[in-house]
Every structure is written in C-alpha cells, then in structure tokens.
Amino acid sequence: MQNIFKADSIEIKIEHVETPAVDPNMEDRYFVYTSQCHMPKINPFSADALKIYNPVNYTICDKSKKLITVNFNSKKKQYKLHMNIKTISCCYQSIKRSGRGRSADRKYSLSPCRNISQDFVVPHHVKEIITICKTKNSRKVLKEAFTFVHPPKKMKNQKHRKPSILLWGIDSLSRINFRRTMPLTYKYLQEQSWYELQGYNKIHYNTFPNLMALLSGYNYSLIDKYCHPQIVGGLNDCPLLWKNYSKHGYKTAYAEDWTYYATFNYLIPGFLKPPTDYYLRPFMLAIEKILSGNGNCRGRRLMAEYVYDYAVQFTNLLRSQPTFGLFWTNSFSHSLFFLPSSMDKKMVKYMHTLKKNGIMDNSIIFFLSDHGMRFGPLRQLKSGFVEERLPNMFIWLPKWFRQQYPSFELALKLNRNRLSSPYDIYATLHHILQLKTSTNHLPRASSCPKCRSVFFEIPENRTCADAGITPHWCTCNVFENISTADRVVKIIISKLIKATNSYLSARHLSHRCSKLKLSQIISAKTKNDPEGKQQIFRLRYETKPKKSLFAATVRWNKKTGGIPINIDDISRLNKYQTTSNCIKDKTAMKYCICTH
C-alpha cells in the first residue's frame, strides 16, 4: 500500500543513506558494473564489521539419550516408533489444525494420548505428533515431537522428466553476511558449482512483500488489490505459484518457524485452508506451546531444525515424483546478524544429506533470503545500506538439466553480475513449468513486465526500474557526501518528519503515538538524476523520543521544489517492536513511538 503526501514544495521518496565500504582493488569494486548499474561490492570482513561480529557455536538442545527413534520401512511405506529405553512407557497425541474463520491458521487440537507399543506402526492419517513418556521409577514427564510425510499410496507415472523445486530460505541474510557468518556453507556452494546472483536486489522493506513478489509477481498495491491479506480467506484466493505447480502434478509443501512472525501470519489472519499438500504450521504452533526449551530450542531440536528436517523428509519420501517446497526459517537469523554462524556446520550437513538422498539429482534448488539486516549495529555501518538490500541467492541445477538445457546454464553464469530481483525468480519458476516456451511467450510478473527468467540473458542496460525496484531500494547508484547543515537538507528533513506525523494523524493514531521531533541529522548524500531535472538526496536522521533512526531517499525538483512523499518507503533503522506495540498497523509501527 502506498500513501503519497505532498509536502509544500519538496519531493521526497524515502530510502537509506550511506556509502558502502568497497574492496580496495578496482577490479573487485562492484557486484554489478553495467552501463546503467554500478552496484558497489562490500567486503564482508571489513574492520568495522569484524569489530562487532562475535560468532557463536551450535546449540545442542538436549544431550540425553533419545527416548524414541523413528524408522521408515520403504517397502511397506510405514513409519515405526522404536522406544530406546526399556523402562519407559509412552503415548502419543496427534496434532491437527482446528481453527475457524480468523483463527483458522492459529489454532490446533490434540487427540487423546494413545499408548505406544514397541515398534508401533504410525497410522497413515497421523502426520504430526507429540509423544509423552514416563519412566517407571520417576514421575518426570518427557515430551518430544515428530512429523511424518506419508507418500501417496499410488504414485503417478511421469511421461516427461520434471525437475522438483526446493526453496531453502533463511530470513534477513544478505549475501555479504552469508559469507561472513556461514563461510563453510558458502565454500560448499562454491565448490559444488552453485550459481550465485550477486546483483539480486530486494524490492521492498520486509519479508512479506519480497516473498510475495517471488510467489505472485505482485507489488504491495497489487497484493492489496488481488490477494486481500487482511481479509480471512484472501490469501487462499491469491495466485501463489504453488497452485500452478499443483496443477502440473507437483506435490507441494510449505513450512516456517516463528509462528507469530511468520510471513503470512504477522498481523494478518493467514490461510483459511491449508495452502499446500503438506503444511507444517499446526505442528509448529503446538511445539512452541507444549515443548520446553531455552532460546531457539524446543524439546530436543532447534526451531529451524524442525523446518529443515521436514524439508529433508518431504523431498526424500516423495523423490520419485515432482515436488515444490518452500521451507523458511527466521529463528537463527532475523534478530541477531551474527547468529547464522551457529548453524554453519549444520547447514553443510543438510546439504550433504540432500545430496546423499539424491535430491540434487532431480531438483532445482534456490538457497535464498528476502533481504539483509534491516536494523541493529550491522545496519548502521556505512555498508548497511547495501547489505540490507542484497539478499542471498544461490541456484543449483541438476546435471541432466544442465545437459538438456545448456543455454540456461550459460545465461545463469552471465546473469551472475547483472541486476536481478524477486520478480525474475517468479518468472523463472513459471519458466520451469514451460521449458520449451520462448521468453516472449512466458508469463511475466504483473508488477514487472520487463522482468524475465534468469535462464535467459538479463539485458546489460537494465535499470532498477526495469527490474521492478523503486529508487528507495535500488543499490545501483553512487552518491556523494554533502554537509548535514545544507539548507535544502534541513528543509527536506523537516518535511519528512512532518509527513510522518501527518501519516499517523491521518490513521487516527496520534493519541497512541508520540509526535516525532528532530534530534539530529546524521548524514546526507546527493546525486543528480540522469536527466538533470532532479537532485536526489539520501538522508539519515534521528528523532525524539527514543532516539528513533530513519533513512529516506528524496527527489527534489530543482525548478518547482516539489517533494511527493511515499510514506511506505521510509526506512526505520533500529528495532521498533517494543516501542510500537500499542498498535497493529504493520506500516505505521515503523514510525510509532507509543505514548505509554
């Protein structure tokens, strides 16, 4: 949703500020260096970044012996529960989705606890369980949780070989921070010849619009128009890509940790009906509430491990037929930029498991993120502007696919250092369903008609506008520093704060949110637009109360002094959940400082 405010005679388009620290060698200065885009390369190991970087070790949630082991009989297609200690007695409760209406995606139910005999065969209709075990000589109750991806009783024979699709997502992980915090995983992807899109640029602020661009081809305004995420059932009517894959005979799955902040549930109702064939949300809701654990642990495993283990189970059990799976984690990457280091070795093990299971032989895998860190100490470095806007994106192609479509591989190699966006991945995922179709006849993203599959060459002269990236999020241009005491800078900052307060007032939030006042102007940068009619400013400033940090990109018309303001593009650079929890409006929360 976009709200345009006209503030007297200055034109403001909100964005971030700061010149990144580029590598010293000229040949390595840019991720993208084309006629229309100079995207500065960031050194992951610069002195200022390393000064605040403290890697952490993997957390073992429970060092005790496993009470129950799950075994799968591939011939009988059965799961069995084996109790590892003779002196325990166990029962299980089946987890099911139980909510209705606005609570459909927020509630679950548990069956009565049914006793487990040794090597108990899990019924085919049971997909998720909590186990409760007791020892004979102790009153202590021990709980664990398990999922069961049951393969269909009848597998469909495929006339033509179709690649499966695996979207393996880590929230808030820039490609720079990926190298910094997960060097072993980065090295593995490099050695295994994954294809990296170094010019992959986000299109909006947070997870929801960036993932929706990838899954629907819509920007925020079209999401509101066609998907109605605030309305119960709206997302189920939205043309998300897994529907297209389902129509083509694919089995689909979606799993995500952090249920409150999940992509399709944060401050919106989520899905009225399960959106995919295999849907982990009821299970995640249950373990968050029922299983004990510190930090990101729940029971014996980390929250993210339940999601990735489910991905391994889904892809392995259904590897004889095409699948489309989105597996997304937030818990070890969203809030602390250094925390991905704890999962580095574990992530390499997951990649080895996928390879061992044969998943890489028939799957196109996207190892991706939605954006970089949006707040905190890393974001406030000089390189933070670029880091926030360049999410991680690596692509794996199986050998047979590369041999059958050699031009696609050549295009991926060329596009490594071309500007790209989530709309291109949307087009690519459509292309995979129509591999014999020429680029001119393939579906394009509604919000980016010039975007295209990355299996075709991206034009050398592509601009951010061509890629569906608004100036606020574009990393292609280099700005020059100017004085924060500049007269025009002061005028623009004043208009920005006035527009922000007016936005809160227009939404009847002034009684809950404090009126913002300028504390200090932190930095200012400028450049002329290509036509020379406008001067573009990137500004960073702090307001009272609570030392709230903001950044904006402003277009100032030299002749008219016009400044239209797109309020959605104002970036907040520090955490705001605790200072804005008096309201539920996702956009307004960025600007609101609660009065109480």
Is-contact 379 95, C-beta < 8 A?
no
User: 303-317 and 281-290 helices cross at what angle (nearest 10)?
Assistant: 150
pLDDT for 531 equals 67
CATH of domain 4-19+479-590: 3.10.450.10
What residue spans of 116-247 are helical by DSSP H? 175-181, 183-191, 207-216, 220-226, 241-247
CA separation for the pair 118, 90 (Å, rounded): 10
CA separation for the pair 553, 557 (Å, rounded): 13
CATH architecture of 164-441: 3-Layer(aba) Sandwich (3.40)
Provide, for the chain, the percentages of residues in helix, strand and coil under a 3-state DSSP scheme, each rounded to the nearest 5. Answer: 30, 25, 50
pLDDT for 6 equals 39
Cα–Cα distances in angstroms (integers) from residue 297 to residues 113, 128, 304, in the given order: 24, 18, 9
The two structure tokens encoding residue 502: 């007016």
Share above pLDDT 70 across residues of the chain, in percent, rounded to a whole number: 94
Cα–Cα distances in angstroms (integers) from residue 541 to residues 20, 145, 383, in the given order: 18, 47, 17
Give the amino acid at 256: E
CA separation for the pair 503, 2 (Å, rounded): 11
Please choose, from the candidates 449, 421, 462, 461, the residue with its C-alpha nearest in 3D space to the C-alpha of residue 203: 421
Sheet holding 78-83, edge to edge: 68-73, 78-83, 120-121
The two structure tokens encoding residue 40: 């500065």
pLDDT for 1 equals 41
Is-contact 12 568, C-beta < 8 A?
no
Provide the residue ranges of all domains of the chain, joining segments of one domain with +. 4-19+479-590, 68-147, 164-441
CA separation for the pair 69, 77 (Å, rounded): 16
pLDDT for 16 equals 35
CA separation for the pair 347, 312 (Å, rounded): 12
pLDDT for 528 equals 81
Stated length of the chain: 596
Single pTM value for the model: 0.90
Give the model confidence (pLDDT) of 147-156 as tens digits: 999 988 777 7
Q: Same CATH fold, 164-441 and 4-19+479-590? A: no
For 219-339, where are the E strands, in sequence order?
251-256, 278-279, 297-298, 301-302, 323-329
The two structure tokens encoding residue 96: 């099911």
Q: Which regions of the chain are under pLDDT 50?
A: 1-24, 26
pLDDT for 67 equals 93
pLDDT for 530 equals 67
Residues 6+ apart with CB under 8 A from 356: none
pLDDT for 594 equals 95
Apex CA 444: angle with CA 438 and CA 450, to 5°?
Answer: 95
